[in-house]
Structure 1
Amino acid sequence: MSHNGSGFRPSTSPVEEGKVYEAKIEDIGREGDGIARIQNFVIFVPGTKIGDQVKIRITRVGRRMGFGEVVHE
């Protein structure tokens, strides 16, 4: 599959809804949610703070960002 920059490919997100990933919270968004990045893809995670190392279950995936929740073991 070649990537010549033309067209929209919705399958380019590095995360999938419902799956769990480990990530570090690197920043805080305007609404106070933590921001993690998985392969440069932004994930908003409520209830976290900068420096938290968390497991995140992806709850929603958009074109440019996703949303997740902390998985408590």
Structure 2
Amino acid sequence: MSYGNRGFNRGFGGNSGPKPVEEGKEYDVEVTEISRKGDGIARVQGFVIFVVGGKVGDKCKVKVTSVGPRFATAQKL
């Protein structure tokens, strides 16, 4: 699922610098919001993770499937 580039820069913009999450790794997160596309939004150290199928209030383990310059996507485990 693509969320595109909206030009936002919240400290993780561009391609430089390490991200607080890595593709293929698992993280414990809490979904705090829902995206316009209906996926859950969680954060790790402020870095946005779109959680496919996530609902507000979900406390779950996720596996990161992709990491971009401004956000990552993940699947619930």
What TM bracket, shorter-length normalisation?
0.7 to 0.9
Runs (5+) with no aligned partner, structure 2 = 1-13
Provide the identity percentage. 47
Q: Report the structure, 1 or 2, having the larger helix content.
A: 1
Output the TM-score relative to the length of structure 2.
0.78
Question: What SS class does the counterpart of residue 32 from structure 2 fall into?
Answer: strand
Could you tell me which amino acid in structure 2 is paired with residue 64 of structure 1? Answer: R
Count of aligned positions: 64
Q: Which runs of 5+ in 1 are unaligned?
A: 1-7
TM-score by length of 1: 0.82
**Distance in 2 (alpha carbons) for counterparts of 1:46 and 1:32:** 8
- Look at both structures and tell me which one has the larger radius of gyration over its CA atoms: 1
Q: Give the CA RMSD over aligned residues.
A: 1.2
Which segments of structure 1 move beyond 4 Å, counting only runs of 4 or more?
none
